[in-house]
Structure 1
Amino acid sequence: MRIATYVHNGGQHAGVVSDDRIHPFADDLDARAVVALGLDAALALGAETVAHSAGVPLADVRLLPPLAPASVRDFVAFAEHVEGVRRSVDGTGGVPEAWYAAPTFYFTNPHTILGPGQDVPFPADSVARDFELEVAVVIGSDGHNLSVEQARDVVFGYTVLNDWSARDLQSREMKVNLGPAKGKDFASTLGPWIVTADELEPYRDGDGFLDLQCTAAVNGEVVGRDLLSNMGWTFETMIAYASRSSRVVAGDVLGSGTVGNGGCLAELWGRRGQQDPPPLRDGDEVTLTVEGIGTLTNRVTSAAPAPALPAVRRRDPAAARSAEVARRAGVAR
């Protein structure tokens, strides 16, 4: 089953995509509410929805992000990506030993999620603009300290994720050993819909990985192609790790991290020692396609310039504390 969120005749709805039509859920159920039913109940609801609704042509609707995520964790599960991007962003090579210890992730912004066909407003001061081709898993029920086996039971479905990246901002801020922050949180794209987990089971290999072909193109020219099964960890392992000493909840989205072999421009820049292909520019169209899920296309634009910030305050903390102690002693006398 494929679940989409869309606009039709001025109203926002969620529904089931079947062939070339979309069938709205009754009672204005949104996608988050359907996901929270869990996979089995959602599949039953979807079958009933298609059976009792004529639907509308998919060509007559405007797709939105398939759901409003409860949170977005983005992992980094492809060693080939790590090696190439490290060279580009911080000038170091190789894969850090810590990467092999656990499936590392960061939290990104659930409030700047875009959908298929929407323009992506990069920060106006960024010139090293990049895309990232990922697959995201959508969580269908809550969990805490899950085992890998238990994590499989909370998988609801999958969607395509483009983790847009302002590499120049990312490079600067990660020198503070935090982030990425403003290099990432301006936009992420999800879509075109959520494909429920049962549809992708035929692609699962003997080790539990999904053997899906992933392709990235800029202005119609393919720049990257990889297999999702080149991940270092399964989605179930990443879910289990995310829930460790913490919680995952229905509607959480977990990104796979960027595929290798040109899943983003920065990986290619790091390997080639130059910005080839060039950074994204206003008007460029990026198209990500994942076998079994679908295609996601967005156009790059520039946001309005942000207001200036005041310069950092530089002071000697020890001198300031001593001066304050002296001031307070004077007041006390």
Structure 2
Amino acid sequence: MKLVTYVLDPTTPREGGRAGVLLNELVLDLATLGQWAAQREISFARLSAGSEAPLPSSLLGLLQWGEPAWKRLRLAVELASQSEPSFLQRQSGLAFVLSQVHLRPPIPDPPTIRDFFAFEAHVRNARARSGLEVPAQWYQIPVFYFSNTSALYGHEEAIPYPRLSQALDYELEIAAVIGRAGQDIAAEQAADYIAGYMIMNDWSARDLQLQEMAVQLGPAKGKDFATSFGPWLVTPDELQPYRRGHGASERFDLPMRARVNGQLLTEANFRDIYYTFPQMIERASQHVRLRPGDILGSGTCGGGCLLELGQERHRWLTVGDVVELEVAGLGLLRNTIVAAPS
């Protein structure tokens, strides 16, 4: 399944998004779908018995409700797929054409965001720009930093340019979303904790990042102004054709591309990641409890940012630039950079 958070009016406050599931070119409202299915199907009503509502109105709620809610969702989607799109659209509040809704980040209110540094090519290329080698410690553990959960953007949402920066960069990544709670999770079992995957753009103000990391802390202000996710959350079953390996070594053969104003700048593949998501989950969950909705970023793929490519390939981003990140199986995430509000 492909799951979204959407609004009908782009001026809706950030907390006003609703959860939906894609059925071809329709977005089915999750909570309305649950009520509709409960009225039509006895077996669905039995699955929903004892619950305050058949399905929640947010994706974070879906993750927190756990497997019973996922079972109800799968049955509800199966029921809806047996109806004509025109019929679904006539049901009040149930179905909307994808092109007519406005997408928000799939998980607009995650408990935490951990962004890793998992592609060897990115580490090597970025450090080489400063005449540095990959530190030996990088090969010993997957490392991450915590990002800002309150500056998140979805597909087609405008990104305000950080006023204090003159070196804005994109970063092409994939994010995994935790689907159930766990602590000290072994990498061999960690894939079972992933609810889905989405494209991630870890926007970076390189000059601010360089300034603060010179004192052995950060990145903070170099990163915390914006992160984009989307366009939707893709459940693991949809990526099975791309799956390579299993357990701790699980990877996906997913071509990754980045364009700025239509110019192709990045071509990479997710299969080349050094540390897998199961290994990242094992590291992240050591001594602490991961919760449904926690987000783990892969870090930038090789060649996946302007810092690596160099100014000879492309200048830093500026107001008006359109950045598109595309990953096979996950879709396309597009954002336009705009001037920050004065």
TM over 0.5: yes
Q: How does 1:254-269 map to 2 (within 5 A)?
A: 254-260=296-302, 262-269=303-310
AA aligned to 1:5 is T
- Identify unmatched segments of 5+ residues in structure 1: 306-333
1:111 deviates by: 0.5
TM-score by length of 1: 0.85
Note if contact 2:106-2:229 (Cα within 8 Å) is conserved in structure 1: yes
- Identify unmatched segments of 5+ residues in structure 2: 32-52, 81-87, 90-94
Deviates more, 1:46-55 or 1:139-148: 46-55
Deviations 1:65-122 (A, max 9, x none): 111211100001011111222244xx23221111101110000001101111111112
Q: How does 1:188-227 map to 2 (within 5 A)?
A: 188-206=227-245, 207-227=249-269
Q: How does 1:109-148 map to 2 (within 5 A)?
A: 109-148=148-187
AA aligned to 2:328 is E
Once residues 297 and 47 of structure 1 are traced to their aligned partners in structure 2, the CA distance between those partners, rounded to angstroms, is 32
Residue of structure 2 equivalent to 1:314: none
Deviations 1:111-140 (A, max 9, x none): 101111111112112111100000000000
Q: How does 1:45-60 map to 2 (within 5 A)?
A: 45-49=73-77, 51-52=79-80, 54=89, 55-60=95-100
Residue of structure 1 equivalent to 2:315: 278
1:38 deviates by: 3.5
Change (3 A) 1:66 1:43: farther
Does the residue aligned with 2:265 lie in a helix, a strand or coil?
strand
Once residues 236 and 143 of structure 1 are traced to their aligned partners in structure 2, the CA distance between those partners, rounded to angstroms, is 13
Residue of structure 1 equivalent to 2:34: none
Residue of structure 2 equivalent to 1:322: none
Once residues 47 and 98 of structure 1 are traced to their aligned partners in structure 2, the CA distance between those partners, rounded to angstroms, is 47
Q: Please report the RMSD computed on the Cα atoms of aligned residues, expressed in angstroms.
A: 1.7
Number of residue pairs aligned between Structure 1 and Structure 2? 298
The percent of aligned pairs where both chains have the same amino acid is 43
1:86 aligns with 2:127: yes
Note if contact 1:122-1:166 (Cα within 8 Å) is conserved in structure 2: no
Once residues 123 and 94 of structure 1 are traced to their aligned partners in structure 2, the CA distance between those partners, rounded to angstroms, is 30
Alignment match of 1:238 (pick from 265, 280, 294): 280
TM-score by length of 2: 0.83
Residue of structure 2 equivalent to 1:330: none
Change (3 A) 1:29 1:46: farther
Note if contact 2:114-2:295 (Cα within 8 Å) is conserved in structure 1: yes
1:148 deviates by: 1.0
Once residues 62 and 69 of structure 2 are traced to their aligned partners in structure 1, the CA distance between those partners, rounded to angstroms, is 8
Does the residue aligned with 1:239 lie in a helix, a strand or coil?
helix
1:33 aligns with 2:61: yes
Note if contact 1:39-1:140 (Cα within 8 Å) is conserved in structure 2: no
1:296 deviates by: 0.3
